[in-house]
Every structure is written in structure tokens, then in C-alpha cells.
Amino acid sequence: MGTSGKERHGAKTGARSLTSAPMKTSPLPPVAVASRLRVVLVGTQHPGNIGAAARALKTMGLSRLVLVDPQQFPSDEAFRRAAGADDVLASAEVLATLAEAVADCHFVMGCTARSRRVALDELSPRAAAQQAVERGASGEVALVFGRERTGLTNEELQLCHVAVHIPANPEYSSLNLAAAVQVLAYEVRVAMLATDQLAPSSPFVEDASASHAQLEGMFAQLGQTLDQIDFHKGRAPDSAMRKLRRLFLRTGLSEQEVRLLRGILADAQRMARLAGGKTE
Ligand code: SAH
């Protein structure tokens, strides 16, 4: 899959956090969400940007490109800039209007370089990507991008359910079209990784998150161990335990990680016994 272990692990940890936990219940198999997400480029003026957008999608494991009234397509320049993502370009659908391009979508997000100037709720790229993954579990989703010079018209934005704004430099907030596609595609990939959407290639797939009971068992053993190694030295143990609980709960431990930590604690307890038992 070409992602680093760090990225996979970080994303997986995120999936266990309280905020994103509901997404784990997605009923769809891993590839389905990527296959339900289309990226729509409206009225693109430079064919090179279409090619670069195709490349941006493919690098992030996405493939559905829809072109609404492109000024020039197909084009050699687009294929040159696609740099090997020819398959994404070749399968791109070309339609006359945005309304047609999103007719069967349940959720449509319009990307705009102009923040808060549209009468739509505005999402960050990260929140938009999460929505894409969540809503893609039950229906078709579209991410819509506007023209290089003028963006999306007000009528086109009316067809969107929310606006998405990349929080760029307010004095120079307009990204190149393909760069904006790359930012959103990356966030979608991170969201897919965080919800195990790409699980078949993940070595962490069997590493389920620890249950409440497993964590409480570990905390009880940690409390005993701290006593046995005389960590508190007469201080009340509550404050240290509260801090340690917060630390471990924040990291979203897996079952396997809890087993590893409990193994270390068991060895520390064994060493404490060998050294003469409780020292208090
Ligand atoms: N001058 C245009 C900018 C167009 S850039 C305008 O003022 O709207 C081409 C497209 O890239 C935009 O329509 C939008 O879909 C996307 N884009 C560029 N910068 C963006 C940003 N900061 N946030 C979200 N989308 C952006």
C-alpha cells in the first residue's frame, strides 16, 4: 500500500479515540467507501490541472473523477501531467452540468477558496474527509472543485450541502486546483486509514482496541505494582494514578498493547517479590 507504519499506526490509534469511534461500525467492506466517493472538477480551464488532479487522486487510493464541461478534454497535456495515473483519466466521466454529476449523490461538498462568503455550513478538510467516509458508508458522496479563475458559481454552490475551505493564508488563499484536490484526497485517505477502510493491507488489523474491563484490569495491576515497588513513598497514590490513567486512556491502547504492558508489570511485581516483597 506504500504507507509508512507510522502513518498506519497513528491513524489506527485515532480510530480508537472516542470522537471517531462510531465510524468503526461502518457496514461496508474496505474498498467500498473509496468507490463511493467521486471528485468532480467543474469547468476546468487547464487540461494540465485535470491530469495533476488524477495523479493526486491515485496517490491517495481514489479513482473516481468526473469532469463537468472541461474546456479541453481529452488532452495530451492532461495525460502528461497524470504521470501514470492514466487509468483514472481514461475512466473519467465527462458531463455537461454539475447537477447531472451529483444527481445520485447523498452528500455533496463544494470546495471554495473564499471562506465564509457562501451561505453554507463550512467544514475543514479534515472534517469533510470524515464526513465523506461516514456518509460514504451508506450512499454516494461528491467533492466538488471549481474553475481556476472563478471557482464555483453561486448556483453551483447551491447544489452543495456544505462548503469546504482549506484554511490557507487569508491574504493568498487560492490554491492551485490540483493542489486543493491533493489536500482533500490526503485527508480522505487519512480518514479511511483511521477507520480501517484500508484494512486488508494493514498489519494492525487484528489489533482490536482494549475494552473498558481490560483497561481497568491493567490499572488495578498498575496500582498494585506501584505499591510493590514503593513508588509512592508515603504520598497518597490517587494523584499519580489519575495522571497515569489519563495518559493511558489518551493513547487508545489495543488489546495487544495492554497484554504487553501487563507482562512488564508482572515482571516488575516478580522482581519486587524477589527483592523482598512490599517495602512499605
Ligand atoms: N479564484 C478562484 C479560485 C479558484 S481555485 C476563487 O476565488 O474561487 C480552483 C478551485 O480550487 C476552487 O474553486 C476550489 O474548488 C479549490 N480551492 C482552491 N483553494 C482552495 C481553498 N483554500 N480551500 C478550498 N478549496 C480551494
pLDDT in tens, 134-182: 999 889 999 999 999 999 999 999 999 999 999 999 999 999 999 999 9
- Residue 239's pLDDT is 86
3-state SS class at 147 = strand
Q: Which residues contact 33 (CB under 8 A, 6 or more apart)?
A: 26, 132, 133, 136, 137, 192, 197
User: 5-201 belongs to which homologous superfamily?
Assistant: SPOUT methyltransferase, trefoil knot domain (3.40.1280.10)
Among candidates 71, 67, 32, which has minimal Cα distance to 53?
67
3-state SS class at 202 = coil
Ligand 1: lining residues by beta carbon, under 6 Å:
111-114, 145-146, 148-152, 164-166, 168, 173-175, 177, 180
H-helix segments, the chain: 5-15, 31-36, 47-59, 76-82, 86-90, 98-101, 125-136, 154-158, 177-194, 212-228, 238-251, 255-274
* pLDDT over 90 (residue 213): no
Full-model pTM: 0.66
Amino acid occupying residue 20:
S
Q: pLDDT-derived band of residue 18, with 50, 70 and 90 as boundaries?
A: very low
CA dist., res. 252 & res. 113, Å (int):
35
Q: pLDDT-derived band of residue 26, with 50, 70 and 90 as boundaries?
A: very low
Nearest atom in ligand 1 to the alpha carbon of residue 164 is 24
CA dist., res. 173 & res. 92, Å (int):
28
Instruction: Give Cα separations from 48 to 1, 11, 40, 158 (angstroms).
Output: 26, 32, 16, 28
> What grid cell was written down for 231?
513508588
* pLDDT over 50 (residue 15): no
CA dist., res. 165 & res. 182, Å (int):
13
- Residue 248's pLDDT is 80
What values do phi and psi take at 143, rounded to 5? -110, 120
Query: Mean pLDDT across the stretch 2-20?
Result: 36
Nearest atom in ligand 1 to the alpha carbon of residue 167 is 22
The answer as to CATH 1.10.357 being correct for domain 212-274 is no
* pLDDT over 70 (residue 198): no
* pLDDT over 50 (residue 131): yes
Q: Where are the domains of the chain?
A: 5-201, 212-274
Q: Compute the distance from residue 39 Cα to the ligand 1 centre, in Å.
A: 14
CA dist., res. 218 & res. 261, Å (int):
8
With the most atoms of ligand 1 within 8 angstroms of its CB, the residue from 41, 111, 169 to mutate is 111
| Average pLDDT across the chain, whole number | 84
Q: pLDDT-derived band of residue 254, with 50, 70 and 90 as boundaries?
A: confident
